[in-house]
Amino acid sequence: QICLGLVKLLFYLAHSPLGSIVLLDFQPRQFVMVDGNLKVTDMDDASTEELSCKEDNDCTLDFPTKSFPLKCSSAGKCEGINEKKNLFNAYRYFFTYLLPHSAPPALQPFLSDILNATGDLRYGINETLKAFEKVLHLYKSGLYLQKRPLLLKEYISLKGFRTVEAEDYKCWPSYSHLGCLLSVHSPEEAAAICNSQSQCQSFIVTQQRTWTGRPLASFQSSPTDLVPDANAVVYIKRSASSGKRL
Q: Looking at residue 224, what is its pLDDT?
A: 65
pLDDT exceeds 80 at position 230: yes
Strand partners, 163: 226
Could you give the CA distance from residue 136 to residue 192 in angstroms, rounded to a whole number?
Answer: 21
Catalytic residue check, 45: no
Q: How confident is the model at residue 231 (pLDDT cuts 50, 70, 90)?
A: confident
| Segment 147-162 mean pLDDT | 86
Alpha-carbon span 25 to 6, nearest angstrom: 15
pLDDT exceeds 60 at position 207: yes
Percent pLDDT > 90 in the chain is 63
pTM: 0.84
Domains of the chain: 1-144 (1.10.510), 152-242 (3.50.4.10)
Judged by average pLDDT, the poorest of 9-23, 69-83, 145-159 is: 145-159
pLDDT of res. 242: 56
Cα-flanking dihedrals φ and ψ of residue 158, to 5°? -115, 100
State yes or no: pLDDT of 122 exceeds 90. Answer: yes
Band of pLDDT at residue 245, cut at 50, 70 and 90: very low
Confirm if 160 and 230 have CB atoms less than 8 A apart: yes
Quickly list H helices, 92-210.
Answer: 96-98, 108-119, 125-141, 187-196
Residue 61 and residue 70 in contact, taking contact as beta carbons nearer than 8 Å: yes
> What burial letters (b/e) apply to 18-34, b meaning 16+ CB within 10 Å?
eebbbbeebeeebbeee
| CA dist., res. 7 & res. 29, Å (int) | 17
pLDDT at 243 over 50: no
Q: Is the pLDDT of residue 72 over 60?
A: yes
